[in-house]
A and B are shown apart, each in its own frame.
Chain A
Amino acid sequence: MVQAPYKNEQLLADFQTLQENSVAWISEIRSTAMDTFGEIGLPTARKGNEKWKYTNVAPIARIEYKLSKPAAVSLDQIKATAPWDDSWLNLVFVNGVLRSDLVRSDVDGVSVFSIAEEANLDEPCSTIIDYLGSVTDVSDEGFAALNTSFLSDGIAIEIAPGVQSELPLNIIFFDDGTTNSISHPRVLIVARPNSAISVIESYVGGGSKCTLTNSISEIIVGERASVSHYRLLAETDETYDIGYGRVKLGSKAKFKSRSFFRSAKIGRYDLNVLIDGEGATCDLKGLYFTSGSQHMDNFINIDHAKPNGTSYLFYKGILDGRSRAVFGGTVLVRKFAQKTDSIQYDKNLLLSPHAEVDSKPALFIYADDVKCAHGATAGNIDADTIFYMRSRGMDLETASKLLIYGFAGEIIDAVEIDGLKDFLEDMFLTALPSHKFEF
């Protein structure tokens, strides 16, 4: 029995409409994915499904969504919700549809393709032919299969060999929240050998309706290339957001991920990094601040398939209210991945006795010459710490503010784009409570 995100008839009707008059290559991709979705449906927490153990998608499936429609939204409205700098390579999607008037793609060596435009061509660009879907396995992920079934818009970017882009790509997915709607954005980034680029993906929105954003971002980092990927989830508290990050690293490639969660009703980011070349490094940091009844699930898997790789994973969470956070995933060190160096940590600060975190980082090591460490902590601000600060003259409020800001600041400081860092500081530090602690 298939559990669909909205009534099956509606889903199939939408799917058929989309497929009408489609060109062969995309029609085939969608059909294959829809067959898979038909078999596996949406994930459930039943039957020992460890991957989704702590995130119940039933509330997401219960809503009757319509496929997102384009809407007129002013640039000012977008700028008010997402990081922006006129000098950046800005790309804006409104309700899942690329706004062609808000595309900047005039930088040498950085090719930008609209998937919607390419979808009309019998033969799309080689970036899409060669790489789209190449690092995403949808066979056991219902949401990923669903995204691919409805593949229609998104962006494909190729950075030519040796090109080091000084300007970040700023991709904004804005949902206006005027209807209960679903969108399936797709991002493909191919960094050819020796190239370098920073990419910002922001999932933001307004309105009061329930939207589901179900995205896949594929990132292929070639030999000695470097990609810094920033992801911000700051939607309204009525939205659901499921995101997949699928990353493949070539020899000596460098990948940085900075993931920030600020708001959504239920959010999940499933990030998968495959170390597919010798000596590749990935440095993954994240900050989630959950409050109210928000739920954020970070599921991060790193696969060391080649030797001499390093992975550094450091996430931090601040939990308030009745919110809940999940941190899961594994670091896998395969038999031939000798000299792997891996650290995996998740630290949580609980500001409320009603908040809950389930943190389960895991390690599987099959090589015998590796350096690996992992751990997770969850705690309140302890009495000794507060006394130390009070004994220096600070009141409870000042002390807790310094501690909470300090806790979050460690991750925000790892942002290397000034305008983005300022934006995030504003967004997080003004929202963080200056708790008073009683001991």
Chain B
Amino acid sequence: MVNKKNLLEVKNLHTSIEDTEILKGIDLTVGLGEVHAIMGPNGSGKSTLANIIAGRPGYSVTSGDIYYCGESIISTQPEIRARKGIFLAFQYPVELPGVRTWQFLKSALDSIRKEQGYEEMGIREFDKLLEEKRKLVEMDQDLVKRSVNEGFSGGEKKRNEILQLALLDPKLAMLDETDSGLDIDALRIVAEGVNNFKGPEKSVLLVTHYQRILDYITPDYVHVLLDGRIVKSGDSGLALELEQKGYEWIRESITSGAKT
């Protein structure tokens, strides 16, 4: 039986892309109100995990399952997952030439509201809401009138992701290396966005390479992903230990553990 208090349960997930196995049996449980950090070196599969939960096509799940709110979502379309409250902030947000940010955000919000049985939001009400959220992420007013992410700086693109998080108000927020390449101000804004989002009915899955963002967002759990497996889990202390000793330390401790 799947526990209803767990927002997300990943069970023995194996996935591959073409013939390469990327995830080799992931078990992960995220309870309501919890913040989990997934750390790991490049190529460990941590981004894949977040993308598969969001429903990115192109991967094949060879075994295992993903439960969200107690239901399997493994064959659910990505837009349905989004409407049910799963959100992924992209590592590389996509540019949409000619699609105005304002229009994109309204269309997204209306799609999600429709699923929840609400009418499309009136333009005035939406403008007010957008303005409030925009100020929260300190995004330039001109950017919402421009094409989505087109000509945005790296920091502006990430702020736009956090703006979407704030506006769409999902249940599960996944951040795929949102912190990489950000200067300290942008990092602070991203972290504030996540901290504002947090709550007893919300969960966060933070995928990151570095410990840096965890200075601003304290995770309840830290998992280390290595070669497609979660090899170590712990509290926020694990992140600090990783920062000091590096991923090699984990790799060695596993290998030596296997020998004994």
A residues near B (Cβ < 8 Å) are 383-385, 387-396, 398, 402-403, 405-410, 439
Contacts and interface: CB of A to CB of B under 8 A. Distances in A.
A392 B82 contact: yes
A387 B97 CA distance: 15
Contact of A385 (B54, B81, B96): B96
A391 B112 CA distance: 11
B126 to A, nearest CB: 15
B99 A387 contact: no
B77 interface: yes
A402 B55 CA distance: 21
8 nearest CB pairs, A to B? A406-B98, A393-B111, A406-B99, A392-B108, A388-B94, A393-B82, A390-B78, A393-B112
B94 A384 contact: yes
Nearest to A410: B98
Given A388-B93, A402-B96, 4 more contacts: A388-B90, A394-B79, A395-B79, A398-B107
Instruction: Choose among B77, B78, B93 the residue with the greatest number of A CB atoms under 10 Å from its CB.
Output: B78
B208 interface: no
A402 B111 contact: no
A439 B57 contact: yes
Interface in B1-15: none
Contact of A402 (B90, B99, B168): B99
Contacts of A387: 56-57, 78
B171 to A, nearest CB: 13
B57 A394 contact: no
A392 B77 contact: no
Nearest to A396: B79
Interface string B76-91: 0111011100011010
Interface in B45-98: 54-58, 77-79, 81-83, 87-88, 90, 93-94, 96-98
B56 A406 contact: no
B236 interface: no
Nearest to A406: B98
Contacts of B97: 406-407, 410
Given A402-B104, A407-B98, A391 B82 contact: yes
Given A403-B99, A406-B99, A390 B79 contact: yes
B197 to A, nearest CB: 16
16 contacts: A385-B94, A385-B96, A388-B94, A391-B82, A393-B79, A393-B82, A393-B83, A393-B112, A394-B79, A394-B107, A395-B77, A402-B99, A403-B98, A406-B98, A407-B97, A407-B98
A405 B97 CA distance: 10
A241 B137 CA distance: 53
A394 B111 contact: yes
Nearest to B114: A393
Contacts of B164: 392
Contacts of A391: 54-56, 78-79, 81-82, 87-88, 90
Contacts of B253: none
B149 to A, nearest CB: 9
A410 B164 CA distance: 24
A406 B115 CA distance: 25
A395 B111 contact: yes
Interface residues of B, number: 32
Contacts of B78: 387, 390-391
Contacts, number: 79
A391 B78 CA distance: 6
Nearest to A387: B56
Contact of B111 (A398, A403, A406, A407): A398
A388 B82 CA distance: 11
Contacts of B88: 391
B147 interface: yes
B104 to A, nearest CB: 7
Nearest to A413: B98
A406 B79 contact: no
B103 interface: yes
A196 to B, nearest CB: 28
B77 A390 contact: yes
A406 B82 contact: no
Instruction: Choose among B57, B81, B93 the residue with the greatest number of A CB atoms under 10 Å from its CB.
Output: B57
Instruction: Choose among B57, B77, B83, B99 the residue with the greatest number of A CB atoms under 10 Å from its CB.
Output: B99
Nearest to B167: A392
Nearest to A382: B94
A389 B96 CA distance: 9
Nearest to B58: A383
A439 B57 CA distance: 7
Nearest to B92: A384
B147 A406 contact: yes
Instruction: Choose among A387, A393, A439 the residue with the greatest number of B CB atoms under 10 Å from its CB.
Output: A393
Interface string B132-172: 00000000000000010000000000000000100010000
B50 to A, nearest CB: 11
Given A384-B94, A403-B99, A406-B96, A393 B168 contact: yes
A383 B51 CA distance: 14
A398 B88 CA distance: 19
